[in-house]
């Protein structure tokens, strides 16, 4: 990813990684609770991470989010 991984992005990746450990996608509400932000803010960030080059997450509205291989690598570096 050419964009610098800000502290906020690192936090999102870390929490998505933790929530995905059970093999299920992380929900927007779960992330919002963990990060203490509004669900709408989470949706905006997930769309941004999904649009990154390379994409860091696979986000499907109402179905949750999982990390891509690039996202998982970045999460493990945090």
pLDDT digits (tens, 9 = 90+) for 3-32: 578 999 999 999 999 999 999 999 999 999
CA distance 39 to 77: 26
The helix (run of H) or strand (run of E) holding residue 27 is none
Give this prediction's pTM: 0.91
What pLDDT digit, counting tens, does each position of 46-70 carry?
A: 999 999 999 999 999 999 999 999 9
Contact of 12 with 31, CB cutoff 8 Å: yes
- In sequence order, what are the beta bridge partners of 26? 65
Predicted local distance difference test score (pLDDT) of residue 78: 83
């Amino acid at each position: 990813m050419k964009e610098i991984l800000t502290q906020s992005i690192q936090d999102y990746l870390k929490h998505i990684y933790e929530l995905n450990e059970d093999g299920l996608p992380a929900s927007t509400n779960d992330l919002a609770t963990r990060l203490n932000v509004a669900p709408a803010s989470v949706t905006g960030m997930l769309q941004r991470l999904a649009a990154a080059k390379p994409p860091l997450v696979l986000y499907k509205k109402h179905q949750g989010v999982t990390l891509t291989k690039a996202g998982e690598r970045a999460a493990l570096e945090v």
